[in-house]
């Protein structure tokens, strides 16, 4: 496995490789990321994992400086997982001049997570397009845990005619049901013991809707109340169309429930796709 820090070296390394699979990450890797690499290996001959903590997607109150940077440990995990190349550019390499050209994501980017993280998906879409242009992969793999991000990246590819297949990986969970996330590392022992509750509450909401509850707002309010009672600070719980991410209407059958909530200072997200018959 090669660790490359510059765009020119990466281009030279990939010149004769096809198909190339890209797994974009911000590092601090866990088993969920390793699953993305394994999936990429099924679709590509050469798997590139990018590790870049992208300042453009952090808001002013979000802790960019303290985001865990664990390159040596990450590279050891990626080598064991069979990645071929790690692309770990510096900020100067990714943004040699101020990034004034930005990708404007669709309106849905200002709902759900975007409502409390203005500009976040603009930063994500911009860095992902740059990574796509730098690596020129045929396939790129993203996790469904970041369902809204995945939706926006699919739109990026569709609306800008990028010749890239987006492969979605199922959310990897701990035995408790807690979705794997780099942010779980911020939880205290007490918070960690409580953290799977977000998943349980979403499961309960799915059951309620599948049992015939058509008043989605009422079901969402119950889910919010259940989490608040246990000390969570809920950002949103929302039943949406899985294909458009717009608020679900009763006739719709392919749905997703998404939630974001804080336990102490850690903001966790999760979602569950489900069908109505």
Residues at the site binding ligand PAF, with contacts judged by CB under 6 A: 24-26, 54, 57, 124, 127-128, 146, 149
Give the shortest CB-206-to-ligand PAF separation in angstroms.
24
Using CA atoms, how far apart are residues 216 and 229, in angstroms rounded to an integer? 20
Alpha-carbon span 178 to 46, nearest angstrom: 31
Query: Count of alpha carbons within 13 Å of 67, Cβ hemisphere only?
Result: 21
Catalytic residue at 30?
Answer: no
* Terminal Cα-to-Cα distance of the chain (whole angstroms): 47
Closest distance of CB 50 from ligand PAF, Å? 7
Q: Which of 5, 33, 43, 199 is catalytic?
A: 33
Phi, then psi, of 45 in degrees rounded to 5? -85, -30
Task: In angstroms, give the least distance from the CB of 136 to ligand PAF.
Answer: 17
Residues 6+ apart with CB under 8 A from 129: 103, 156, 160, 162
Q: Which of 156/223 has CB closer to ligand PAF?
A: 156
SS (HEC) of 229-267: HCCCEEEEEEEEECCCCCECCCCCCEEEEEEEEEECCEE
Task: CB nearer to ligand PAF: give 30 or 200.
Answer: 30
Nearest distance in Å: CB 204, ligand PAF: 27
Residue numbers annotated as active site: 33
């Amino acid at each position: 496995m090669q660790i490359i820090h510059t765009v020119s070296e990466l281009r030279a390394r990939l010149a004769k490789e096809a198909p190339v699979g890209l797994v974009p990450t911000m590092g601090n890797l866990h088993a969920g990321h390793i699953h993305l690499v394994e999936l990429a290996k099924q679709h590509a001959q050469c798997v590139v994992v990018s590790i870049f903590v992208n300042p453009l997607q952090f808001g002013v109150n979000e802790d960019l400086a303290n985001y865990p940077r664990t390159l040596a440990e990450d590279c050891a995990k990626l080598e064991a997982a069979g990645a071929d190349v790690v692309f770990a550019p510096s900020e100067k390499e990714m943004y040699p001049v101020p990034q004034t050209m930005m990708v404007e994501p669709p309106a849905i980017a200002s709902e759900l997570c975007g409502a409390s993280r203005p500009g976040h998906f603009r930063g994500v879409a911009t860095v992902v397009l740059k990574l796509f242009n730098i690596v020129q992969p045929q396939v790129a793999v993203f996790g469904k845990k970041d369902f809204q991000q995945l939706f926006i990246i699919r739109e990026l590819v569709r609306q800008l005619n990028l010749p890239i297949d987006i492969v979605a990986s199922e959310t990897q969970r701990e035995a408790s049901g807690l979705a794997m996330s780099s942010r779980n590392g911020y939880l205290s022992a007490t918070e960690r013991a409580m953290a799977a509750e977000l998943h349980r509450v979403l499961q309960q909401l799915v059951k309620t809707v599948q049992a015939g509850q058509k008043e989605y707002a009422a079901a969402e309010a119950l889910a919010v109340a259940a989490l608040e009672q246990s000390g969570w600070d809920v950002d949103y719980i929302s039943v949406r169309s899985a294909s458009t991410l717009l608020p679900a209407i009763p006739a719709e059958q392919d749905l997703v429930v998404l939630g974001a909530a804080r336990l102490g200072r850690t903001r966790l997200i999760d979602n569950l796709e489900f069908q109505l018959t």
